[in-house]
Amino acid sequence: MSPAQKPRSASPEPVALHEHAEENLRYIRATMENATSFTGVSGRGYFLAGVSAIVAAWLAARQSTQAAWLLVWMLELLLAGGVALGMTAFKASRQGKPLWSSSGRKLLLAFIPAMTAGGVLTLALFLRNDTTLLPGIWLCLYGAAVMTAGVWSVRILPLMGALFLSAGSLVLLTPVPPDLMLGLSFGGLHIVFGILVWRHHGG
Amino acid sequence: MVAKSQMQEISEEAPPAMQVAGAHNSQEIGNNLDRLIHERTRLALVSALAANPVLSFNDLKSLLQMSDGNLSAHARKLEDAGYIACSKSFDGRLPRTEFRLTESGRSALQRYIAHMEALILAMKNL
């Protein structure tokens, strides 16, 4: 039950008082549950991750081997992940909220499965010397991870996830240049949504 | 004061139909019902703040799907009653308003929940 939906009966039939009291208690519980979404995601963290992704896309496009190309993106994953996590921890601490709150744990648990699948597919395709599908797979799985995890966080995150998923589908199904889409998505989307989160939910 | 029945207290903002059933019971329980919190929007505000150490104005607005004016008006009433505390700061150049539930507000919510539970018990024991 959404807190915004005021569950009042329009029926002319009498409503027992204890039912009204029970409804009030359910309303309090639902509001408290909805209010525990994790708002500690850092807009500045996303912004910086986006900037680093644009640099990584530029660097990766200049590599001559698959291994070097993959190495650039793996280093970018570590760098961007570290920056985003560090900034999120800093923001949560500034808000007086624990990083591992109930909603923070749910967010992480929702994020991990799709990312793990992405890691396994990356390794498998690299061992087969075929990395051509990786950009689309990364974008799709990262989008799926963000959409799922975003349920426990600020409302615009699932939208960002959906856009990543769309970008991944484009890369997999059309001849659009993969490195360009990686730069536009991991770079551009993170920068845009980082600014939005920063403005509406703090840095 | 006894004449202030539980029905008058609890149903001030409830549909008229609610004033029919159980109107002659649990007067004592309802006498101390906190009208300030009983209003749905303020109940939501206090409940949301009870689940978080602090929430920004934008977090609350998004969470409770309220307009700026509506949220400001209800938050002001709770602040005036000492149930919530408001702090204003800057995040870079952006102004940031944050709300916290005070001890008084937390006690008020606990009392309200206790009232609701007592009311349910009383009505079921009829």
pLDDT at A11: 47
Chain A CB contacts of B64 under 8 Å are 3-4, 31
B7: confidence class by pLDDT, cuts 50, 70, 90:
very low
Q: Each residue of B87-97: pLDDT tens digit?
A: 998 877 778 89
Q: Mutation test of the interface with chain B: which of A5, A28, A106, A154, choosing the one with the most B Cβ atoms within 10 A?
A: A28
Q: Each residue of B91-121: pLDDT tens digit?
A: 777 788 999 999 999 999 999 999 899 888 8
Query: What single-letter amino acid sits at B108?
Result: A
* Residue from the list B56, B96, B123 with its beta carbon closest to the beta carbon of A18: B123
Q: Each residue of A93-109: pLDDT tens digit?
A: 777 667 777 777 888 88
Chain A CB contacts of B71 under 8 Å are none
Q: Which helix (H) or strand (E) holds B97?
A: strand B94-101
Residue A101 tokens read as 């709150």
Can you list the residues of chain A whose pLDDT is less than 50? 1-12
Taking CA–CA distances from A10, the nearest residue in chain B reads B15
Chain A CB contacts of B11 under 8 Å are 20
The reply to whether residue B65 touches residue A3, judged by beta carbons under 8 angstroms, is yes
Block residue for tokens 């109107």: B23
Q: Each residue of B46-65: pLDDT tens digit?
A: 999 998 888 889 888 888 88
Residue A39 touches partner B, C-beta closer than 8 Å = yes
Q: How far is A73 from chain B (nearest CA, A)?
A: 31
Chain B CB contacts of A96 under 8 Å are 53-54
Examine the pLDDT at B15 and tell me if it is beyond 70.
Answer: no
Q: List the beta bridge partners of residue B56.
A: B98
pTM over 0.90: no
Could you tell me which residues come within 8 angstroms of residue A51 by beta carbon, excluding any fewer than 6 positions away? A187, A191
Nearest to B100 by CA among B63, B56, B68: B56
Per DSSP bridges, beta strands B84-91 and B94-101 are antiparallel
Taking CA–CA distances from B122, the nearest residue in chain A reads A18
CA angle B41, B43, B49 (to 5 degrees): 105
pLDDT at A15: 58
**ipTM of the complex model:** 0.73
Query: What single-letter amino acid sits at A11?
Result: S
Strand order in the sheet with B55-56: B55-56, B94-101, B84-91
Chain A CB contacts of B62 under 8 Å are 154-155, 200
Q: How far is A199 from chain B (nearest CA, A)?
A: 8
Taking CA–CA distances from B117, the nearest residue in chain A reads A21
The reply to whether residue A20 touches residue B11, judged by beta carbons under 8 angstroms, is yes
Taking CA–CA distances from A38, the nearest residue in chain B reads B52
**What gap in Å lies between CA A95 and CA A92, rounded to an integer?**
5
